[in-house]
Chains A and B, each alone.
Chain A
């Protein structure tokens, strides 16, 4: 594998401008005080000085709404697109979420063509977190501020330059021979190790998750859920800002002769989510829906796919309108 390189921070814009020639580049941008990931037309649009974005890099593979196909005269036609893509700037927690999403959308029996096709065309260059937020708890759920899972390239902020570590073949193809990169020194590598270790130690939020799934097994009828859900408003903020949430609704728009079928994000916190046409609802109140959210992420997904469906990014904690704190919920479960 390619040896580590470094790139001067002042050259990032040029690097992105170069890559825009051959790739559709998605990078963090600032839009009205909010950091989100969007397609950029020039390197100068990218903003890399952020703790974590508000909206999610997963939107590059799984947007909030998407046309599945248009239909006319009873014949469906799905959109198609080609071209290499580059997702630049996600944090390791978000990169890890792509592995979780892959376990849903890319299974041996059925492949979600919309997600998989975009994912397979995309190279991912992530940036490690020198200073995790107080709400970050990636290390409690199997992640870390400089973890490489889900990344093709990892950038580490060494002050005036980034260390560039190639992780995959796709990453090598992206940057091999790039004149803007220089060789990394041993000192660079050691500095990265120091920063990475310090970042891990800085993580203040620690939640015990060992045995969490087993603990949940016996809690289906626990009164815990009744008390917990009370203040929940039943909105979709936690689910729509969550990197690993993947539920969606499918709707037809148009008439019988022509129209389109779209998919949009949906939330298990909505009372409509499991409402049968007959009027019966297996999850009639917030209690059942809150229980479903926690059980799904920390037990059912573990049973089915072997890992927790949470990457500890803390967005739900920071953005919940009523300060429902997932960390406190998990701690509450462990001490029951």
Chain B
């Protein structure tokens, strides 16, 4: 019988500092087993359980695009026991990976239409996966307009700066990068994400919005999206929850009768409104 609790050994190929505070890093990893490496498939919005031997596991959204071959990327903020252990790793260190888990973004709902991505701070990870997926030449034609509104507290806290630079040069994406507070070298937008969203005013016609960020950002973005005409059934959110098994057995990530690891982490706002406020 396959044992879903056994992590697959993987090696850290590259570590990239993403922010000035140096508490957010992107880890590029590859499975040790060639067969797993070649057959591992996932969709945007899914997560994996990363095992740091001796410390435990943590659920991290997959930040690489499913179009990337042979490796996975995870962007992790140092917060507790496991993430600290991960941050202490060097390139070449091994860890374990279980997954992919979760429902991921509903690609069928988004294909054939426009996509508006609203992201704040560190929650950008799986949305970056989604953006790169959509922008890939094999996929771009299946989607309409793509708007990305992304903000961080300060310029130093923006992550994926290398992607942001690439995207800014493209004409098939409407990119709005903002910071809460700039500095003298910052020439980009300044303002909270909900404000910039309001100014950008992307059309809700045949569009789906994906919103991920700190609770306060979400709380103020929703009314803006509502005003723009996005119904709750076409606004998506990815929830975070304390998890252990990742496969709906250990019982701790439930919100009402939904398990965030299995029925989520992606939910529409319409679904969230029906769930108890316990997240």
Q: Which A residues contact B (CB, under 8 angstroms)?
A: 68-69, 71, 74-76, 78, 104-105, 107, 109-114, 116-117, 220, 246-252, 254-257, 259, 261, 263, 266, 268, 273-278, 282-283, 288, 292, 295-296, 299-301, 303-304
Shortest Cβ gap from A48 to chain B (Å): 33
Contact check, A248 vs B54: say whether CB atoms are below 8 A apart. Answer: no
Identify whether the interface residues of A are mostly helix, strand, loop, or mixed: mixed
Known: A104-B249, A110-B248. A74 touches B242 (CB 8 A): no
B residues less than 8 Å from A248 (CB atoms): 244-245, 249-251
Interface assignment of B240: CB less than 8 Å from any CB of chain A:
yes
B residues 81-103 touching A (CB-CB < 8 Å): 83, 94-96
B4 touches A296 (CB 8 A): no
Question: Which A residues are CB-close (under 8 A) to B3?
Answer: 78, 113-114
Q: Which residues of B contact A74 (CB under 8 A)?
A: 9, 32, 53, 94-96
Binding site of B, secondary structure by majority: helix, strand, loop or mixed?
Answer: loop
For chain B, the count of residues having a C-beta within 8 Å of the partner chain is 42
The answer on a CB contact under 8 Å between B252 and A273 is: yes
Chain B residue at smallest Cβ distance from A68: B5
Q: B79 at interface (Cβ–Cβ under 8 A)?
A: yes
Do the beta carbons of B94 and A303 come within 8 Å of each other? no
22 A-B pairs in the complex with CB atoms less than 8 angstroms apart: A74-B95, A76-B9, A78-B6, A104-B248, A105-B249, A110-B249, A117-B1, A220-B276, A247-B251, A248-B245, A249-B250, A252-B53, A266-B252, A274-B252, A276-B242, A277-B80, A277-B242, A278-B79, A283-B278, A295-B256, A296-B254, A300-B257
**Contact for A303 among B55, B257, B262, CB less than 8 A:** B257
A-B contact count (CB 8 A): 122
Tell which of B5, B56, B58, B279 touches A282, judged by Cβ atoms closer than 8 Å: B279
Most B CB atoms within 10 A — which of A78, A259, A277, A278? Answer: A277
- CB of B262 within 8 A of CB of A109, answer yes
Taking a contact as CB atoms closer than 8 A, the residue among A76, A252, A266 that contacts B250 in the complex is A266
Q: Which residues of B contact A259 (CB under 8 A)?
A: 53-54
**Is A109 touching B6 in the complex (CB atoms < 8 A)?**
no
Chain A nearest CB: distance from B274 CB in Å?
11
CB distance from B255 to the nearest CB of A (A): 8
User: Do A288 and B53 have beta carbons less than 8 Å apart?
Assistant: no
Given contacts A110-B249, A112-B4, contact A252 B56 (CB under 8 A): yes
Which A-B residue pairs are the 9 nearest by beta carbons? A247-B251, A277-B80, A300-B257, A113-B3, A74-B94, A303-B257, A277-B79, A110-B247, A256-B54
Distance from B161 Cβ to chain A, minimum over Cβ atoms (Å): 24
Please name all residues of chain A whose beta carbon is closer than 8 Å to the beta carbon of B262 when the two chains form the complex.
Answer: 109
Q: Please indicate the chain B residues that have their CB under 8 angstroms from the CB of A246 in the complex.
A: 249, 251
Q: Are A75 and B9 in contact (CB under 8 A)?
A: yes
Q: Compute how far the CA of A288 lies from the CA of B276 in the bound complex, rounded to whole angstroms.
A: 11
Residues of A within 8 A of B241 (CB): 274, 276, 282
**Residues of B with C-beta under 8 A to A274:** 241-242, 252
Q: Flag whether B144 is at the interface (Cβ < 8 A).
A: no
A255 in contact with B252 (CB, 8 Å): no
Q: Assess whether B7 is interfacial by the CB under 8 Å rule.
A: yes
Report the bound CA distance from A299 to B258 in whole Å: 12
Interface string of B51-71 (1 = CB under 8 A from A): 111111110000000000000
8 Å CB interface, B152-184 against A: none
Q: Chain B residue with minimal CB distance to A273?
A: B252
B83 touches A277 (CB 8 A): yes
